[in-house]
Every structure is written in structure tokens, then in C-alpha cells.
Structure 1
Amino acid sequence: MPPTGQVDPLDVTVEDPREGTAVISGEEFLPGCGEPDAGSGEADAGTPDTSVLVTADSRFHSSTGVTVVPEDLSGNDLEILIPQGTGYARRTGTPVAGGMRFDNVPDGEYFLRLNRFYYLSRERHFDLGRNRMGRPDAVYSPFSEGTAALSLTQLAPWQEWTTLNDPGSSLQLISGDVDVYAPLSLNEYVSVGATTLNDPSAWIYNSTGRGLPVLDPAKGDHLYLNQLNSVAAGTMPSGAPMSYQTVVNSLQPPSFAFTPDGTTPLPLSGALQPVAQQPFSMEWRLSEFTRWRTDSNPTGTLSYSAMSLSPMPFGDQDGWVGYQGELFTLSLPRGEDGVIASRLAYGNPYPSSWGVVATVSYAFRSATPVVIGSRTHYPSGNVYVTDRLDPLIASPIQPPISPPRQLRIDGVDAYTSRVVGTTQPVFTWQPPVLGTPKAYVLSIIQLIGTFDAAPTLRFYVPGDRTQVRLPPNVLLPGATYYARVAADGSPHYEPWRAPFITAEKLPAVSSDTFSAVFTTP
């Protein structure tokens, strides 16, 4: 998963997996990239190639391996922007076998725009391919939420939620055979200490961005239902009690057929089994994260920090593919500092071939809220470190890269609120003190008065660039925004060539600086 939490912009317009089962490599035909285009004949000798081919293969990961399915890009909001002075010349694409071809793109840099995402590149073949979880012929219903009829025994004694840092018991539904990760919300009250649970209408929601899947026992579809409980773990550096949540019991019911229809509940019944707890030791140096607070924002404050462990179905050869819930979560209260040196444990109900990935994060946020309509915003930034568990805890956990510094808008300090002079400003910054960025990601977040997702523009540039001039007409007049710049030090990340596939390679590390709010004229 991308450490910056980015959404996949292809999902804005391409919601369902492709039904086809053809397996291609994505390199078998590259029209406009040195090979003859189908039906167009050879290019004249010595004639420079001025086309760019954009492809988008879905790589479906399942127990049978990886199946590659080409996607049709013709329905996507996709174009190329070529810098020209203070503006950009635009190119639209032509659908070709395997993707979209853009002609008359001169040698040099261009932005490939996909919806609200902009990638600065020189590549003649740009790969928008994605890794997907589950078999390629899986069918997903139009219903992303529904109900489940639960009849469960042999639970670990049920716990009540007390605080964010001591969340008690919860249930999660996942599967490596189809793409589903669904936390369950109970409709019936469960007594503290109960070991049975009967709820005919628990609420489920598939958090992967897809509808709930159709389950087919003939295809070997299985589900895991995991119970997570809180476990006491001594004290935090501040002296407050510390606890974490981990998988303690799990149920893998026999395969069964189910088609979500928006009414029929998903039947889940059986006896959960205890999950063996796997111990690990770590030294998490919170102080090595908090020391970068003023680089993240000179007036920012310390916010929440957390460590989580998640499964990597089918191994880690392609990085962290898909999201299949949590094995372990340690959430700390706002402002916690110092060092946590502890021996902890996590439950893992999955096959030994599945890997374990760990993410550690520390957030900083504005000291002053910004109220827009009925919504209160806190501009914020994060430090992320994601890696396989074993190498992450082999040495003290600390960030290998710090935030960029001295963020400016049109040459003026961006950490002070103001009205900018234009809707096409130039953002500049200085490199971080610690680490070498492989790339920078500039995010422009619009602050809105409703509780919908905040509209966000993102610009991805190589790590030797410290400036982005926005294209015209991407910012609204009279609107309120803030900017966030991430220094990404992930060694395998190449957003100028293959942003989604390379973002999932491990390790993944990034640190943000964020501005004060600014308003357009």
C-alpha cells in the first residue's frame, strides 16, 4: 500500500475488474515506443519517435499466482501537459491495443494527468498498472455494504471499548481469494466477558473500494472472520497505561455460495479457534520522530502516532499488495514522546506463506483549527515508515528521511496564512536535512464545509526537483486550501514510470511538511 495513503485515481472511473482472462506481459506490444504500431507500418529510419504509450494492466494476485489483464483506458480522464513558458500545451490520447497513445510529445518533460493526479515524466512508455487482490474472474456486486447474520461460539471473552488506545474487541472479515476487507459493526449488545455472539443483522462494509464479492465455492473462495482484543502492555513513556489490539481468535468457515443482493444477510457461523501469539521485541524511538516537528510545520503540534502489523497475502515478492486488515495495532495518545522498548506479540491466523508488513507513523498538525461551514479542519502532515516486520525491528525504529523545509508559495513563506496573488501559484521547498528523496509529492487539499472527502490535487516529481508551477484553472477562485509536500525516500518508488506498482515495493518511507491555509483570489 502507498505510504502516503494515496487513493488509486483509476478507481474514480474504473470501478469493476475486467472480466477478461488473457495473460499478457504489458511489453508484448508497445506501439509508438520503437516498435511498429499495429497497421501503421514502420517509422522512417532516423525519424524520432514523439509518441508516448500509456498502459494499465491489472495484476491479480491469488493463491494460483499472478494473472495480468489489460485495462481499457479510453474512459479515463487522461491527458499530457507539456511545459511551455508559464503554461502548458495539452495532448489528448488515441486508444490503441493495450492502452492509450499520445502523439507529438517532444523529447523532454511532460505531466501525465490522470483525473487529479499529475506525474512529471520523460518516459515513452508509462505504466498505470495496478496490483489487485483476488482471482481475476471474481464478480463484485453493486452493494459495498450489507448485513451479516452472526452465530458465533468460542469467542475470546468480549471486551468493551474504553478509549482509542484501548479499543476492546472487534471483528474483521477478510479473504485472499476475493478482494474484501470488511470490519463488522454489531447491532446487538454483547456483554463483557461473553464467549458467544448472535446477531442477525450486523453491519458490514467492504473497505477496499469494491462492492461485496460474489462467493463461489467452485472457485475455492474462503473467508476469515477474525476477533481482535486489547492486550495490556505496561506503560508508555509518559507513564500512562499502554495496550495494543491483536487477533486472538479466528474462524475460517467452509466455502459457501453467496450473492449479495442488498437484503439477504451474509451467514457467518461456527466456533472460533484461538490464534497462536507470536512474540517480537522492538525499540521505537518516538523522540526521533518528534524532533522533526518544526520542519513539518514551524508552529505545528504533536498529534497521534501508531504502529500496525498487517498480512501480505501470498508473500512479498511484489511488495505490499492489497489490504487485508490488521494483525496488531498500537495506537498512542496525542503528543506521546520518548522511547518504547517492549516485548509484544501478535496473532496470525494465515498460512506461513503470507508475509507480515509493519507501518509506523507519527502525525503533526496545525495548532489552530480552520472552520469552513460546519466542518473543522486541522492541516496536518505525517512521517511514515513501512517495511517487512523483521527488518523494521532489527534495529531501533526511527525515520530515515525528514520533512522538506522552507515551503514557499510564489516566493513567500507558506507557513503563514494569506491570500495568494493568483490561481496558478508556484510552490517551492528545500530538501530535507535527513535522507535523500527519490521523489516529492505535492498535495493541494481544498478545505470544504461538508464532510465529503476533501478534493485533493497531487503532483509527483523526481527527487531532484524542488518546484512545481500549477497548471491554470486547477484551483478554484475564492477557495481555501493548504499544501503538503512529502519527501519520499522509498528506494524502489518511480512515480514517473509506474506509480502504483512501484509504490507497493518495500521499504516505503516518507515525511511531510505542510503549509498554513491559503485562499485564492
Structure 2
Amino acid sequence: MKHGALIALGLAGCVGSSFEAEELGETESAVKVLRDKCKKHPKKKCVETTVTVNVDGGTLTTPDGLVMEVPFGAVDQPTELVVTATTIDPDPAIGGQGTVYAFEPEGTVFVRPVQITLPLPAGMTAASVYWTKLGSSEFEPIGGTISGTTITAETTHFSLAVVGSPSGVRNLNGVVKTTHISATTRDSIAFDLGANPAHAIVSDGTGGYVAIPAVAGPEGTFTIDNVPVGDYVLRTNNTYLVTSTNTPDLGFSAGGRPVRQPTDNPLIEMSLSGLVPWQAGDQVELISSQADDFGFNIELDSSLEPGHTSAVLPVELLPGGQQISLILGSQGDSTLVGQLRTQTSANGVPYQAMTRIGHFPSTFDMTLAGPNAVAVTLDTDISNDASIALDFRGTAHFAALTADGDPAANPFCDFVCGGIVGVLAQAGSASDGFYTGNADMLLLFDYAGTDLDTGTMNYGSTSSFVGDWGLLFLSRWNAQRVYQLPDTDFPGGGARAPNLIEWVTDSASGAAGPLVPKLTPPRNIQIDGQAFFDGSSTNLTTTATITWSPPAVIPEIAVADATPDCPAGPVPVLYTIGVRRLFVSPN
């Protein structure tokens, strides 16, 4: 049922005068009409509260107790947000009570859902939040959680909101945007789910299930109507998630500018000077966050010898995503080159720390045809004004992988195996997480599964980098099993099955206490009752049943904001196992 006329009549209540529903033209904004009318009658002007938020998010609280929490990454640029407590009469058709709120800029679609906590009208013990649809004056129920005298819900867009009667169903309002991040740019672009829309899988009331497909909307939004209140299964492609959210967020982050020029020619000849006198174990790496291109250990193919301060390095770029892109200084691409120098910790443990950096000339543009050559001088020393001390338990990581994982996996292979701990500079913000390649500020390696009490290790800051960078802490231990696929002669067997434990956090958390696995593999994995790893699994069917026992170590998260259904304290995290089907020819 639509309530557009009722909303229009209610707007008159804001100014104490009447105007007909027809005053709202087909394309005219209900919120705009409201504001214009209120401004003409200062004595009955609606109460406005404003806040300016940036990518870090922020909080707005109105005088009557509404609280809006904008999370990190909900907006790309500084944005002024306005919440108006109006004097509109709530729509009785939806059981509306209390204040009708207007949220502006109307039609704003956020990259991440925004949480709104509304005062619960006196006497209401059961309710739902109602929100007007994008580009419409029709209210729809979006659910909500009651706690004391408030009700909390989330929204992906700004329009009008009010508290109304409880509803057994709600309309899901989701968003899917790709946030393209570099050190100097941030652009969120709507992502088209195309032929694979999301579905909400719910009970059909007869013991079966029905899948309700999403309907695509503007600016990366989608809706799934009439989903029962409570848990449902959200399906996206082959991923199934049990959730109760009314604002499914299917967005993700990617490195680089949103529009780049792909290339099949990844080679650059770099004439590098200004090195700190070279020593064994040093490394050179390259990071172009705008192009999302990287180069690691590029010294390996050079003629660098101890004591050298310059060299010609052949660089083969690596993509952060799926495709190498041209580095284009004319498009604002800034390319960092850094030397990591071998150092010794206070307790005599060797590690590498970035010591000196330089940048590609701002006029350097790669071409599709090549050859691409550039001269770079490392001209900036990084002050080692930060430090960290670690108690890394390599024995615990090695034991967890071999005891509970694949015992045939090789932790000492020749390809990214063993342990690595690092402080990493991520373009954008640390809150973006590990979404693409990054600059290594400090690296510590464990190739033998040993315990390392490092004592103090010094490393530098990103203050001399171009743009914005955040620091992450990485702990990873990796073992691999190599499989020779039938009819292949690919070097190394043709397939590598990684078996790894990885933790990404902040430096303070990484340095707090012994660095042991925060999660271990599932145990006792069986397929159709047969042990999976010992080679006894034979005569398997295409509809095999996989079983496993819980991991020995499962992480916990702390719940700070307790509710009656979710008390404060540690809560086990859901552990999932992924299954991928591999189809091969009969031969």
C-alpha cells in the first residue's frame, strides 16, 4: 500500500498550514518541500541537527535522543549530513507514532549501511522502523531491534523515517559498491550483480524453502521484499550466509584508480641510484597504489653486490588485482621504490626494515608498446622512530598445521612457505584492512618453525610517503602440498594446496603477549567416513558428505554493547569451511 498522499498532507503539519498532495510534483522531493515550507514559518521551524563526516565516519545526536552512527568507509569524501525532527503527523496506516524524521541529503546512498537509533514512542513495546523508498514517498518496514526506550535499524540511503507498528516481514535494502582505494584517491562505484542477483532463502511454511530474488535499484542498491523478521540465508553466487540484517552489504575494496589502462607488457628497466651500500639480505620493492602494481624482491635479477650504491634492475610488475595496469604519472600515479635493509634486533634476531625511499618522476608514463625505462634516486631516509618487540611462537604454528592440517604439506618449500611477520603500510587507511599489496616497513621470517623472542626492532613511518597510508600487522605461517594433475607437466606439479594460518591486526595487538595461532584448522576431516589426508579416501562419489571436528583454537570477539539477546563478554566466532568442486575431463 502506498502512502504518498498521507505523507504530503503530513508535511503541512510541520508549518501549521495546509497544502495539497498535488504540491508534490512527480519528481519533486518530499524532503525538499518540507524544508521549504518550514523555512517560511520560522516560529514553527523544524529542529535540524547537522554533522560533517569523512571516510572515518562519525556520530550525530539530536536533542530528542536520535543517534546516527556513520561507520568507517560509508562516504568517500567529507559530507554534511542533516537530520530534521519534523512536526509531520505520523501516517496512521502504518501505525506511525512519535516524530517523523527527515534525513538529508535526500537520496544519498552510502557505501556502508548507517545505523539509526530512534526514540521509542511512549507506551510502545513492539515496533518496526519505517523508511521511505529511494525516489518515492512510500514507507516500507525495515525492522529494528528494541532496547529499553529505543529502536535501532540500519539504512543504506537517506529519506524519511518514523516508528510504526510491528511487522512480521521487512524489506531488505542492500548495497553493493566497489571502493577503489589508493594513497591519493578513493572512489566507490556501483557494482552490477548482473545475472547473479542475491537471494534471501526463507522457509516456505511447509518444511521447504523459497528463494526471494533481489531487485536491482539505483547507485548499487538492491531490495528483497517481504523477508520474515529473524534469520534468513543470504545467497550470493555460491556463498551462503545466515544473517538477520536488513541491510546486506555486499561491497568490497580494490586497489587503484577505478579506470586504468591494462597492459600485457609488465616490464620496466629501472636505473636505481642512491642505495644505502648494499649488503646480503637487502631487498628492493616497488609500489604504485594508483595503478595497483607492485614489484617485490626485484633485486634478485640484478647484478647487485655488497657495497654497491646503484644498479640497473629489470622489474616485472605484479598486479594487486587481476590485471597489470600502465603506471601513468600524467594521471596522478605516484610510484614508491624502497630499500629494505637487513638489521639485527636487540636480541640478535635478523629482520628487514625499509630504510630509504625514492619515487618515479611524476612525468613518467608507461606505454603499451614499450620499452619502458625510468631512472630513480633513493633520496629520502626513513627515520626509525617506531619499534616493536615480538614473542613469536613458530613451533606452535608449525605444530598446528602439521597436527591438525595436512601432514603431507611441506612447511619448508621454495615458494612463500614458512612464517612471516610484518608491519605493512597499506594505501588508504588501516581500517580498510588488507585489500591489496602493500609496502613492507618491517619483515621477520621464520623458515624452520622456531620460537623468536626478538627484543626491540626499529622501523620507520610513512610520513615521507605520498598520500595517506595506514599500518597493519601481519602474522602468517604457510605450508603447501603440491599435486601433479593428470596430463600436465607444469613445473612444480601444476597445483599447490596452501595450508596456512594468517592474522591481520594492528601492531599493538600483534605485540601483546605470545604470538601464537589465533585459529587452527578443523580436525579429523572425513569424506564419506574416510580419513581425508592419509590417502585412504577412495571410491568417492560426486555427492560426498564432509565431516570434521571443531578446531582446537577458535578465536573470540568481545561484545562491548550488550543486548538482552547478546550479553557482554567473549563470543565464539562462527567457523566455516569452504568446499570447491573441480570438474575434469574423463581422461
TM-based fold match above 0.5 = yes
Partner of 2:339: 227
Partner of 1:57: 177
Contact 1:427–1:469 (CA<8 Å) still a contact in 2?
Answer: no
Q: Is 1:258 the equivalent of 2:365?
A: yes
Choose from 462, 471, 474 the match for 1:359.
474
2: CA distance, partners of 1:422 / 1:231: 54
Partner of 2:499: 381
1:83–1:266 distance in 2 versus 1, CA, 3 Å: farther
Partner of 2:355: 248
Choose from 454, 459, 469 the match for 1:346.
459
Partner of 1:101: 223
Matches within 5 A, 1:178-327: 179-183=292-296, 185=298, 189-193=302-306, 194-198=308-312, 202-213=315-326, 215-216=328-329, 221-231=333-343, 243-256=350-363, 258=365, 260-265=367-372, 267-277=374-384, 278-293=386-401, 295-297=403-405, 299=407, 303=411, 304-320=418-434, 322-327=436-441
Contact 2:366–2:372 (CA<8 Å) still a contact in 1?
Answer: no
2: CA distance, partners of 1:202 / 1:181: 9
Contact 2:420–2:443 (CA<8 Å) still a contact in 1?
Answer: yes
TM-score, normalising length from structure 2? 0.58
Superposed displacement of residue 140, structure 1: 0.9
1:430–1:147 distance in 2 versus 1, CA, 3 Å: same
SS at match of 2:440: coil
Matched letter for residue 390 of structure 2: M
Partner of 1:35: 131
Partner of 2:32: none
1: CA distance, partners of 2:202 / 2:545: 14
Unaligned runs of 5+ in 1: 1-17, 161-167, 237-241, 439-461, 481-521
Q: Render the CA deviation track for 1:429-483: whole Å, top value 9, x for unaligned.
A: 3333334456xxxxxxxxxxxxxxxxxxxxxxx967678898xxx7356799xxx
Contact 1:179–1:213 (CA<8 Å) still a contact in 2?
Answer: no
Q: Which has the higher contact order (CA 8 A, sep 6+)?
A: 1
Contact 1:293–1:302 (CA<8 Å) still a contact in 2?
Answer: no
Answer with 1 or 2: which has the greater Rg. 2
Contact 1:230–1:245 (CA<8 Å) still a contact in 2?
Answer: yes
Q: Is 1:143 the equivalent of 2:245?
A: no
Matches within 5 A, 1:123-162: 123-133=245-255, 139-143=259-263, 145-158=265-278
1:208–1:173 distance in 2 versus 1, CA, 3 Å: farther
Partner of 2:243: 121
Unaligned runs of 5+ in 2: 1-75, 80-106, 117-128, 142-164, 412-417, 558-570
2: CA distance, partners of 1:395 / 1:226: 31
Partner of 2:148: none
1:73–1:312 distance in 2 versus 1, CA, 3 Å: same
SS at match of 1:58: strand
Segment drifting more, 122-131 vs 289-298: 289-298
Contact 1:184–1:203 (CA<8 Å) still a contact in 2?
Answer: no
1: CA distance, partners of 2:187 / 2:381: 37
Partner of 2:146: none
Matched letter for residue 474 of structure 2: T
Matched letter for residue 155 of structure 1: L
Segment drifting more, 420-429 vs 378-387: 420-429
2: CA distance, partners of 1:419 / 1:297: 19
Superposed displacement of residue 254, structure 1: 4.7
Q: Is 1:433 the equivalent of 2:545?
A: no
1: CA distance, partners of 2:217 / 2:440: 41
Q: Which has the higher helix share?
A: 2
Segment drifting more, 34-43 vs 80-89: 80-89
1:437–1:86 distance in 2 versus 1, CA, 3 Å: farther
Matched letter for residue 69 of structure 1: S
Partner of 1:475: 581
Contact 1:293–1:300 (CA<8 Å) still a contact in 2?
Answer: no
Q: How many residues align?
A: 415
Q: Render the CA deviation track for 1:382-401: whole Å, top value 9, x for unaligned.
A: 22232222332243322334
SS at match of 2:317: strand
Q: Render the CA deviation track for 1:257-287: whole Å, top value 9, x for unaligned.
A: 5254242515343344443345533221223
Matched letter for residue 205 of structure 1: L
1:76–1:307 distance in 2 versus 1, CA, 3 Å: farther
Choose from 471, 492, 516 the match for 1:398.
516
Contact 1:59–1:69 (CA<8 Å) still a contact in 2?
Answer: yes
2: CA distance, partners of 1:74 / 1:387: 30
Q: CA RMSD in A?
A: 4.6
Partner of 2:59: none
Choose from 72, 75, 86 the match for 2:194.
75
1: CA distance, partners of 2:372 / 2:525: 51
SS at match of 1:224: strand
1:437–1:380 distance in 2 versus 1, CA, 3 Å: farther
